[in-house]
Structure formats: C-alpha cells, structure tokens
Chain A
Amino acid sequence: MITFDHVTKRYPDGTVALDDFTLDCATGEITVFVGTSGGGKTTALRTINRMVDPTSGRVLIDGQDVRDKSPAELRRGIGYVIQQVGLFPHRTIRDNIATVPYLLGWDKKKARETAMELMARVGLPTSMAKRYPFQLSGGQQQRVGVARALAADPPVMLMDEPFSAVDPVVRAELQQEFLRLQAELHKTIVFVTHDVDEAIRLGDHIAVFRTGGTLVQHATPAELLARPADDFVASFIGRDRGIRLLSFHNADGIELHDAAVVAGSADRSAARAALAGVSGEPWLLVVDDARRPIGWLSQDALDSVPETAELRDAGLLPIGNTFTVGVDPLRSALDSSVLSPSGRAVGVDADGAVLGIATQADLATAIRTVAAGDLHPHPLDRAPDEPAEPAGDA
C-alpha cells in the first residue's frame, strides 16, 4: 500500500502544488489520479519515487518511509512510465528494457532473457530486440516503456499519462492490454491522466484533484459516476454520467423472454403460432440451428412471406449488437436495444446462442433497480432538493 500522509509541496515562489494530501493507494490495485492541470496529480505521483520531495508530510510504501532509502535504490524498485516514453535512443530495445536489471547488477544473460520475455509479454515481436527506438512507432515505443518499467518486477508502478501521446485507436489497444497485464501481475499502480474516461476505464479507485493541489474525491469509478462529491467533480466527469454508470452494472438482472424466438428452418405457420403465444408481440427473432440470431422479422412482414418458404430467406432485418449475459454490462444491453430495428435487446450466451429478448420496458426495470441501489439509495429519507452525500474515502 502507498500512503500519503498529509503531504504538502510548496515551491519557493509560494505556489502550492499539493495541499495537505492524504490518501491510501491499495496494494494490487490501479489508483488513478485525475484532475485539471495544476491539480498536483503529477506532483503527488513524483513524491512516491522522490522525483519531488514534499515540503511537509510523509509518503510510505508498505509502511516504510520512502526517504529511508537512497533515491536511486528506491527508484530501481519502482517502475516508471511517462507520456514521452523517454527511451534511451542509443540503446537497443532489448537493452532499454534491461536497464534496471543492469543497474541492479544482474548477470547480462539473465537480464537479456528477461527483456526478451517482457517483449513477448507486452506484445512486441522479439525480432525487434536489436532495433533502436527511432525505428519503432509511438505505440510500440510505449510498449517498450512499459516493459522497461516491469523489467525488475517492481511491486509498484508509476504511470504519468502513459497513453496520452498516441492516437485513439492505439490508445484503446494499449489500455486493454494494460488491463490484461495487470490482471496477471497485480501491481500496485498509480496512474496519472487528465482524461476522465481513461480514469473510469482503468481505475479500481479514482482520486480527483482540483487546481491548487487539493484532493476532492476518492472513490470507485461507479461511486464517482453515481455520486460526484460536488459540482466541480460532476462537471469534470462530463456528460452522460448516468449512461456511463450502466457500464458498471451487469446485465444479468434483465428479464429475458424467448417465446418469440423461432428457428430459421421454420415456416410461416410456425411463426404465426409463435406470435400467437405472446400477445402483443409484433417482432420475431429468427435464429439458426445453433440458436445464433440471424435477423428480425416483423408481424407485418410475415404476411408477405411465401407459405412454403423458410423464415431464414424471408428478408430479415439485421440484429445490430447483442449483449452477452453474465459478461456485458447493462450499458451493452441498452446499446443493443438502441441499435435494434425492433427496439429489443438480444441476450446471448458465451457461444453466441440466444438466451432471450429484452424489451425496453424490461431494460427500464433493470435501470430503475440500478438507480435505486446506486444513485438514490434512500429516496424516502431525504427531501427531493437535498444534494446527495459526498462519497468519502472508500
């Protein structure tokens, strides 16, 4: 655990970069520092590896004051990744990654083997080992940056806007792989970003900073979306807070119906029979032999289907997106509903076989349940105009 204990950083000119900052960053979790520029998030990050020494207060790693070790020794035990990557241009990719092992005096062969393993781990072809940084793309360079930080297997990683300088497609890719890596490695990570979406996507906990170096809120992403501490946090999080919150609730609670699901090999009369079984249902979902969805068929269109034709040939409307029950969040179910010509969401299992259909009324019920639990936990205890309680340190 990384502990900030009343840490303040004041510069000689009087600027306060960090103001009485107290926080615990849990072991094995990603804590994201997010906020406006000048909010002190990078300063806070740098007090951990003593790139910045606080004016007052202490920073502890697992209870030990970071000042107990020499800066160089401390830093060799802490991975560090920055936005501009900062690879050593005169060293090959392999030697860049092996930097810390070399500094720690590892055997050269072992250091290089470790570097090669890490290249594979961060998704770089090992054929690049002897290339130089300038021969790599921005995304590849940042993978090397991450590998270099991981080389000596430090328990703590500091990442300062590591994915901000690459294009959105590469960024999404790097973020995804970063989460995959973290699921294997369980490092204690402090991650600085100005991008609140990135914070919500990556963080186990998020600390929001405001200009002047003050911590405004420390919460899980879902808590942050549901109950921002104040207007600053709410406006910082931005639009569609409610919709984004649905990403943090699974879609398992949605009621699914499968009466209007018919096989592609069935004919018109079978379809009519299915529709008769569900009163008021104007849409049929046609599936293949493995129950994977093929398309939608409306009741009106059914009349023009030839008597003997199979339904699969009946000019079906496309499905759009489905959602995987037990995996995808409520937001995916909502997305599926919005994109569907029938306005209904299709729930599938891991193999893509249809489990059932949810109407918008079913989704609304599930969303109301979330809102009741998260947003308005005690609606009866509170007057309507009373603001939500700020979430404290969680």
Chain B
Amino acid sequence: MEWQWLPGHLDDLAAATVQHLQLSLLPVLLGLIISLPLGIVSVRWRWTYPPIFGVANLLYAVPSIALFVFMSQYVTGLSVASAIIPLALFTLSVLVPNVVDGLKQVPDPVRQAATAVGFGTLRRLMQVELPIAVPVIVAGVRVATVASISLGSVAGIMGLGGLGQLFQDGQQRDIPSEVFAGIVLTIVLAFVCDLILVVVQRALTPWTRARKGAAA
C-alpha cells in the first residue's frame, strides 16, 4: 500500500471527520428529540405503541441508499440535510423502544409514591420517571450513535460528505491508503463517541453504580 498519500492530505481527513461527526451525530440528537415525546405518548396511551413502533420499524426497512438518493434528488438536494434526515429516521427504530422500556421499568411503587407525595403528572415525568429511565435510554443512544456513524459512510458515497467520500474517492483514483484511512477513522470515531456516552451516563446516573464498599 502506498502511504505517501496520507501526510499530504491530513487537512482533508480532518475536514471529512468533522463533517462525518456532524452528519452522524445530529441525526441521533434529532432522533432523540422525536423519540422522547413518541415514547412518552406510547407509555401514557398504551394503544399508540404498536402503530408508532410499527412505523419507526418500517422506516428502518427502507434501504438507506434509496432514501439518500431520494432526498438528494427530489427533496433537499446535494447537502448534509439529505444525509441527516434519513439517518435521524433510522435512529427511531432503536430510540423509541428504548424510551418506552426505560419508562416502563420505573418501579410501580416509585411511581405510586411520587403520585402520593404530590407530584403532578408532568413533574413526575420530568423529575422521577425520565431520570430513572436514563440508563436504558442512553443504552439506546449508544446503539443509535454507532449505527449512525457506520451508515453515515453510505451517505458519503452518495456524495453527501463525511468519511464516506474517502471510500468513493479512494476507489475511483485507486488510492487504497485513502480507503483504509476512512475505515480506521470510522471505527475510531464510533469507539470514541461510544466511550464519551459511557462517561456521560456514569456522570448522569451515579445511583446505578454498585459502590456500597466505597461509600461505607
């Protein structure tokens, strides 16, 4: 493999990485913003869950390439939006069920006690139920993030930016080291993002850690 391509293109690699972060993480954020209310509604009114989850799941069945092509051809043109919107829709199939599971595993006595001490419905949701659901929701966010970083490459191949460009460019101009750099950077990005999420979750939920010994 020819390695001399790399030193001269570090700037390009950095730019592609930053762009990839944007086009793969923004969808997760958007997906979470959409999933939270959908999940809350699904738990509050149980009958809404099958249709909501059904649609989210069906969206995932649409081939990503097809959706990227459709968006860039007919909707948002050749821009990051054409990557972000489909990727955001894909996260729903993971995030909605996790929000639902997270809220459902709030122990009934806890919910009852919250009601009995005088939490209103909204306050109970914000101060009791959602905080207790955080570990399960974050678990979903981790899966969605890694999946989104991986799928984001496909968007790049379609010419929508990010690390995927390196695959396309490297293949067309026969620069294997460029393709290789793209693969490594994708993996590193996924790993680092996942690690950050683990750290964030530990900071948010000190109460899940078994630290009897440390506190005694």
Contacts and interface: CB of A to CB of B under 8 A. Distances in A.
Given A51-B115, A88-B128, A90-B131, A82 B110 contact: no
Interface stretch (A129-137, A304-312, A364-372): A129-137
B215 A131 contact: yes
A73 B206 CA distance: 31
A7 interface: no
B116 interface: yes
Nearest to B128: A88
A99 B117 contact: yes
Interface in B115-170: 115-120, 123, 128, 131-132, 134
B45 interface: no
Contacts of A133: 207
Contacts of B107: 84, 86, 89
B113 A51 contact: no
B115 A132 contact: no
Interface in A63-122: 71-76, 80, 82, 84-91, 99-100, 103
Given A132-B206, A134-B207, A135-B212, A75 B115 contact: yes
A148 B210 CA distance: 24
A205 B112 CA distance: 27
Nearest to A104: B118
Contacts of B73: none
Contacts of A84: 107, 109
Contacts of B120: 72
Given A72-B118, A132-B206, A86 B215 contact: no
B112 to A, nearest CB: 6
Q: Choose among B116, B132, B207 the residue with the greatest number of A CB atoms under 10 Å from its CB.
A: B116
B76 interface: no
Given A90-B205, A90-B207, A75 B132 contact: no
B114 interface: yes
A43 interface: no
Contacts, number: 71
B115 A89 contact: no
A217 interface: no
Contacts of B212: 135
Interface residues of A, number: 29
Nearest to A51: B116
A91 B134 CA distance: 13
A49 interface: yes
Contact of A80 (B117, B131, B207): B117
B112 A86 contact: yes
A75, A88, A90, A91: most-surrounded residue (chain B CB, <10 A): A90
Nearest to A70: B120
A90 B133 CA distance: 10
A268 B208 CA distance: 72
11 contacts: A49-B116, A51-B116, A72-B118, A80-B116, A82-B113, A86-B110, A86-B112, A89-B110, A90-B128, A134-B207, A148-B117
Interface of B: 107, 109-120, 123, 128, 131-132, 134, 205-207, 210-212, 215
Given A80-B113, A90-B132, 11 more contacts: A73-B118, A82-B109, A84-B107, A84-B109, A86-B107, A86-B113, A88-B128, A90-B134, A103-B123, A132-B206, A132-B207
Please provide the 5 A-B residue pairs with the shortest distance between their CB atoms, ordered closest to farther.
Answer: A86-B113, A86-B109, A76-B118, A84-B109, A75-B118
Interface of A: 49, 51, 71-76, 80, 82, 84-91, 99-100, 103, 131-135, 148-149, 158
